[in-house]
C-alpha cells in the first residue's frame, strides 16, 4: 500500500479539520474529492509531512510516516500546491534549484515537455507568467525532482478548458511512461473520474 491513514485527526483553530479519517491509497492514481473546507489540502500536506496529525497513524509503503525524514520524504513525495509559489527568477532557475535539492540531474527541455511546456519557457521570468503557466511550471518543478509520488492540489483550477485538457493529457502520459503514482485533489467529480483509478470522497 502506498499510503494508509488510520483514524487520523488534525485540529486547527480549536476545531477538528480531520477526525477519525481512515483511507488506504494504493499505487496508481487516486483522486480526492469533497466540498470546500473538507480538509483535502490538509490531507495532501499530511502525506509529505508538511503537517503531522494530532491523532491516529499514517503509513507510507508500510512504514510509519514519522520514520521518514521530512526533507528526504519530500524529494520522493512531491507536492504541487493549490496556489503557485515559485521562486523569483526564471522557470529554468526554479527547475535547477529543485533538481539540486533532490540531487538529480536536470534536462530542462525534457522536464518542461513532461509538464506540457515548450522549451521557450526556460528563460521566462516567473513573475510574467499567467497563473495557468505558473501551475504548469510548478508541475515541471516537481518533476525535476523525479519523485515517486506526485501530490497534486487542484492542478487545473486556474486553467481554461484547452489548458486543462493539456495538463490532463500530460498527467495521463506521465502515468503511462513512468511508474509515478498520483494523489490528486479535484473539486470536479468528472475530472476525478477521468484521472483517478479510484475516487475518495472526503466528508464535509
Ligand X SMILES: Nc1ncnc2c1ncn2[C@@H]1O[C@H](COP(=O)(O)OP(=O)(O)OP(=O)(O)O)[C@@H](O)[C@H]1O
- For residue 145, state whether it binds Mg ion (rule: CB under 5 A): no
What is the CB neighbour count within 10 angstroms for residue 103? 9
Q: Is 146 left (phi over 0), alpha (psi -120 to 50) or beta?
A: left
- For residue 203, state whether it binds ligand X (rule: CB under 6 A): no
* Burial of 164 (C-beta count, 10 Å sphere; 0-12/13-18/19+): middle
Sequence-separated (6 or more) residues with CB below 8 Å from residue 151: 44, 47, 48, 77, 78, 79, 80, 183, 184
**Which of 29, 39, 156, 195 is in the footprint of ligand X by CB under 6 A?**
39
Nearer to ligand X, 38 or 143 (CB): 38
- CB 100 to ligand X: min, Å: 30
Nearer to ligand X, 12 or 173 (CB): 12
Pick the stretch among 21-29, 31-39, 141-149, 163-171 that binds ligand X (CB under 6 A).
Answer: 31-39
Helix (H, G, I), strand (E, B) or coil at 92: helix
**Which of 42, 48, 94, 111 is in the footprint of ligand X by CB under 6 A?**
42
- Residue 13 interacting entry, from ligand X, Mg ion, none, C-beta within 5 to 8 Å by type: ligand X
Chain residues in the site for Mg ion (CB under 5 A): 40-41, 82
Amino acid at each position: 500500500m502506498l499510503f494508509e491513514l488510520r483514524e487520523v485527526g488534525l485540529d486547527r483553530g480549536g476545531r477538528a479539520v480531520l477526525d477519525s479519517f481512515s483511507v488506504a491509497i494504493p499505487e496508481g492514481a487516486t483522486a480526492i474529492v469533497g466540498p470546500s473546507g473538507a480538509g483535502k489540502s490538509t490531507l495532501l500536506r499530511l502525506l509529505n509531512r508538511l503537517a503531522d496529525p494530532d491523532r491516529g497513524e499514517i503509513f507510507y509503503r508500510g512504514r510509519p510516516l514519522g520514520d521518514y525524514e521530512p526533507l528526504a520524504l519530500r524529494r520522493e513525495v512531491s507536492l504541487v500546491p493549490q496556489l503557485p509559489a515559485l521562486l523569483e527568477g526564471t522557470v529554468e532557475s526554479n527547475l535547477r534549484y529543485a533538481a539540486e535539492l533532490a540531487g538529480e540531474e536536470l534536462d530542462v527541455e525534457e522536464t518542461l515537455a513532461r509538464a506540457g511546456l515548450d522549451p521557450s519557457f526556460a528563460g521566462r521570468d516567473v513573475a510574467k507568467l499567467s497563473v495557468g503557466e505558473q501551475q504548469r511550471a510548478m508541475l515541471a518543478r516537481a518533476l525535476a525532482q523525479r519523485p515517486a509520488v506526485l501530490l497534486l492540489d487542484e492542478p487545473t483550477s486556474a486553467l481554461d478548458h484547452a489548458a486543462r485538457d493539456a495538463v490532463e493529457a500530460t498527467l495521463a502520459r506521465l502515468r503511462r511512461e513512468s511508474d509515478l503514482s498520483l494523489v490528486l485533489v479535484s473539486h470536479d467529480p468528472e475530472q476525478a473520474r477521468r484521472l483517478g483509478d479510484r475516487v475518495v470522497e472526503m466528508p464535509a
